[in-house]
Amino acid sequence: MRPMSVPVQAAPTSDRLTHEIEDLFVCIGAQKAGTTWLARILSMHPDMFMTPVKELHYFDHIQGLTQHLSQRKLASRQRKFFQRLLTQWHRFPELRRQWSWYRTYMSGAIGDDWYASLFRDRLGRRFAGEATPEYAIIGVEGFRHLQRLAPQVRLLFILRNPVSRAWSQILHHCRTTGRDASQLDADALMDVFDEAPNSAALSDYAATLDALAQVFPASQVLLLFYEDMHEDRMASLKAVCRHIGLGFDPGAFPELGRRFNRSQEVALPDDVRVRLRERLAPQATAVLRHTGRLPERWRREFGG
């Protein structure tokens, strides 16, 4: 196997692809709202190809909002793929089938054609998808860019209690920066929240919902509450499959109860909860305006 080359610069985006991306599904977040779980579960469906790299980060990268497609990060993903290929022998057939996709992923300049190429080889499956929570912050311009590439794209936005989501983000950032959340006081924990990349934007459900509504018809966007999803995973998964156009067979999802991507297990301190609640209450109001309802846990958190 020859080493893969790494894209080193972004190619200009085109107004129109030679071929539109058909039967595309994109989960845009929210961050820390079960997107990893959903991507892993959907990948088990025999007619659904989820990209081996779960988060492609194309639209946030092309707008300069993140650096997830930098040369360093692409090279790191290349190394991790080879490590899995060489060490996880029980997954060798699966990983070997992904070789062609990774070769495409690691070659060529980043641009619209590169993004579209990642959905061409679907291993014989009709539908293809990715899940990148940072797409929640790409705004109207970013969603219009996505719409140009895939006019009939099916989108999913999972909404989690803003306070619980923010706390999970804090714990995740503590883990990635080597800090023990249980040893930090309220001021330090709020500082962690503020320093986490794009923290304010990722918490702004109102901006995401408004941008989606400006670009896509309601029929192309499914909103799910994280709390509803994990109260009845089977019913929620059935709704997602129906939205995508997939046939639904409960037997296709043997790991429905499994958790992925765990954060630290630390209880949310009361004083931090109060501060997060005060800051994020407008997001609950915005979600109620858009959806007409809030789950019970949201109502207990924010009242009403």
Question: Does 14 or 166 have the greater pLDDT score?
Answer: 166
Secondary structure in 3-state letters for 153-179: CEEEEEECCHHHHHHHHHHHHHHHCCC
Q: How many percent of the chain have pLDDT more than 70?
A: 90
Give DSSP secondary structure letters for 20-66. PPPSEEEE---TTSSHHHHHHHHTTSTTEEE-SSS---HHHHHTTS-
Strand order in the sheet with 221-225: 48-50, 127-131, 24-27, 154-159, 221-225
Query: Per-residue pLDDT tens for 85-101?
Result: 888 888 888 888 888 89
C-alpha distances (whole Å) from 143 to each of 78, 215, 216, 264 are: 28, 7, 8, 33
Angstrom distance (rounded) from CA 58 to CA 60: 6
Tell me what pLDDT residue 28 has: 97
Q: Where are the domains of the chain?
A: 24-69+110-165+205-265
Provide the pLDDT confidence category of residue 261 given band limits of 50, 70 and 90.
low
Q: Identify the residue with better confidence: 303 or 27.
A: 27
The packing angle between helices 162-176 and 186-195, to 10°, is 90
pLDDT tens, residue by residue, 227-252: 999 899 999 999 999 999 999 988 88
- Write the DSSP symbol of residue 110: B
Q: E strands of the chain, at which residues?
A: 24-27, 48-50, 127-131, 154-159, 221-225
Residue 206, preceding peptide bond in cis (omega within 30° of 0): no
pLDDT-based confidence at 2, cuts 50/70/90? very low
List the one residue out of 139, 67, 145 whose CA is nearest residue 112.
145
Pairwise pLDDT comparison (82 vs 2), residue with the higher score: 82
For the segment 146-154, the average pLDDT, to the nearest whole number, is: 98
Residue 283 CB burial class (10 angstroms; 0-12, 13-18, ≥19)? buried
Q: Answer whether residue 280 shows pLDDT above 50.
A: yes
Q: Identify the CA nearest to 106 among candidates 174, 36, 8, 6.
A: 6
Nearest to 129 by CA among 254, 4, 40: 40
Which of 73-82, 107-116, 133-142, 215-224 has the least mean pLDDT? Answer: 73-82
State the pLDDT at residue 106. 86
Which two tokens mark 178?
A: 């080597």
Instruction: Check residue 57 and give its pLDDT.
Output: 96
pTM of structure: 0.89
Per-residue pLDDT, 258: 65
Among candidate residues 263, 20, 238, the one with its CA nearest the CA of residue 147:
20
pLDDT at 251: 83
Q: What per-residue confidence (pLDDT) applies to 89?
A: 84
Please report the pLDDT score of residue 230 as a whole number: 87
Choices 3.40.50.1820, 3.40.50.300, 3.10.129.10, 1.25.40.10: CATH for 24-69+110-165+205-265: 3.40.50.300
